[in-house]
Amino acid sequence: MDAGCSGADGRKSISAAEARRIILGRVQPLAGWERVAIRAALGRILAEDVVAPCNVPAHDNSAMDGYAVRADDLQADGDVTLQVVGTALAGRGFSGLVGPGQAVRIMTGGVMPAGADTIVVQEVARRDGTAIVVPPGIRRGQNVRRAGEDLAVGAVALPRGKLVGPAELGLVASLGLAEVSVHRRLRVAFFSTGDELASIGRPLAPGEVYDSNRYTLYGALAKLGCDIVDMGVVPDQPETLETAFRNAAACADVVLTTGGVSVGEADFIRALMQRLGEVSFWKIDIKPGRPMAFGRIGETWMFGLPGNPVAVLVTYYQFVVDALLKIAGLDPLPERPLTRVICSEAIRKLANRREFLRGRLFEEAGEWKVRPAGKQGSGILRSMSEANCFIVLDENQGDVAAGDAVHVQLFDGLV
């Protein structure tokens, strides 16, 4: 079918870009927040600006090992001899005053002694007994780190909406802060649907498949730091599904389901979402993952993902993860850069839909190239495991010949 064609219910399928626009335009950050101890903030999103309560660094100090001197003593065109009158170490300063003709031995991080304004690095100063000889060409203030140079007191050290990683933890600690305010964790419930699904731990009956989607989603959501509510497998049975939906919507901010969302006889998800709430769209012109319903029941956002295991991950990464991040308070949302590289193999591609192939970037003769990672069927999860990127083929792209450039989106950073 073409892009923008009418579906069986008269509603149009939409492009991937339009689907992202709708989702990210509708969802809004949650209001709840909590104070947590600094280490517990790792992976959380700041709910308030972190404001510097002090200067960083707190004092003017030396950026190098060398000598603290007075720039007024130095000559523009000749050597100067200065008497070394003491030492300043990091954490143990020189308490006296550096007078005319004097210098103080100083180590990196040592507080600038009173009277001195410039650091001569030790490789440049020539030591001569208790004196040093300083050549010309030293700038006033050279190699001095100024108090407040990293952060002045009162400045916003980290803005609200920022994800706290290792650098942010260090920055918060450098301000002497023991706690920060973070958005509350997002509560995400999910269940798998399908009469054919068997839970792990028992042999398969004929026609059954093990439910893998709940484990994939568990992994993706756990990595994101969500509160997870695993509601198990729900059979393709309208009353049971309705109960599951109502329970999920009552306890979670977001509900993810897999399977049952296309137009097969046993596909009840979309109709149920429509009856219990509203559905913004349920078909996207992509492969894999064409049926994917987005909507809400009450205050709870609903994503009805396809059943095929690869389609679950594709739709999760392309449409769900940024929505979760926005609801969780992340601002701005991460860039999702596409890089263009040469594709080493030919790929068949239909026009009017965006395709996400599982790709493997590799280096050949100093150049990075990409090839499809294994068999591309939307049920073949191994392709996802062997891949390190998506090959993203746009709506207007036709077949790819070996040697053509294609867009790739790296898994690294995708979360």
Which residue of 212, 247, 344, 352 would you call a contact of ligand AMP, by CB under 6 A?
A: 212
> Measured from the CB of residue 381, what is the shortest distance to ligand AMP in angstroms?
8
Q: Which stretch binds Mg ion (CB under 5 A): 147-155, 187-195, 362-370, 390-398?
A: 187-195
Number of residues located near ligand AMP, criterion CB under 6 A: 19
Partner interacting with residue 204 (select from Mg ion, ligand AMP, none; CB below 5-8 Å by kind): none
Which residue of 194, 289, 306, 329 would you call a contact of Mg ion, by CB under 5 A?
A: 194
What is d(CA 74, CA 146) in angstroms, rounded to the nearest whole number? 21
Partner interacting with residue 29 (select from Mg ion, ligand AMP, none; CB below 5-8 Å by kind): none
Which residue of 260, 288, 295, 359 would you call a contact of Mg ion, by CB under 5 A?
A: 260
Phi-psi region of 298 (alpha: psi -120 to 50; beta: other; left: phi over 0): left
Footprint (CB under 6 A) of ligand AMP, residues 245-274: 258-262, 264
- 359 contributes a contact to Mg ion by CB under 5 A: no
> Measured from the CB of residue 266, what is the shortest distance to Mg ion in angstroms?
6
Convert 4-43 to b/e letters by CB count within 10 Å (16 or more is b).
eeeeeeeeebbbbebbbeebeeebebbeebeeeebeebee
Which residue's C-beta sits nearest to ligand AMP? 307
Partner interacting with residue 69 (select from Mg ion, ligand AMP, none; CB below 5-8 Å by kind): none
Q: Which stretch binds ligand AMP (CB under 6 A): 97-105, 172-180, 189-197, 386-394?
A: 189-197
Question: How many angstroms separate the Cα of 278 from the Cα of each of 64, 122, 142, 298, 358?
Answer: 63, 71, 65, 9, 32
**Tokens describing residue 42:** 């790792």
Instruction: Between 261 and 387, name the residue whose CB sits nearer to ligand AMP.
Output: 261
- 110 contributes a contact to ligand AMP by CB under 6 A: no
What is d(CA 358, CA 147) in angstroms, rounded to the nearest whole number? 50
Instruction: Between 149 and 196, name the residue whose CB sits nearer to ligand AMP.
Output: 196
Partner interacting with residue 306 (select from Mg ion, ligand AMP, none; CB below 5-8 Å by kind): ligand AMP
Instruction: Between 144 and 261, name the residue whose CB sits nearer to ligand AMP.
Output: 261
Binding mask 363-402 for ligand AMP (x = CB under 6 A): ----------------x-----------------------
> Measured from the CB of residue 324, what is the shortest distance to Mg ion in angstroms?
24
Binding mask 313-352 for ligand AMP (x = CB under 6 A): ----------------------------------------
Report strand pairing: 33-37 vs 179-183: antiparallel
Instruction: Between 66 and 259, name the residue whose CB sits nearer to ligand AMP.
Output: 259
- 259 contributes a contact to Mg ion by CB under 5 A: yes
Residues in contact with Mg ion by the rule CB under 5 A: 194, 259-260, 307
Residues that bind ligand AMP (CB under 6 A): 192, 194, 196-197, 209, 211-213, 258-262, 264, 306-309, 379
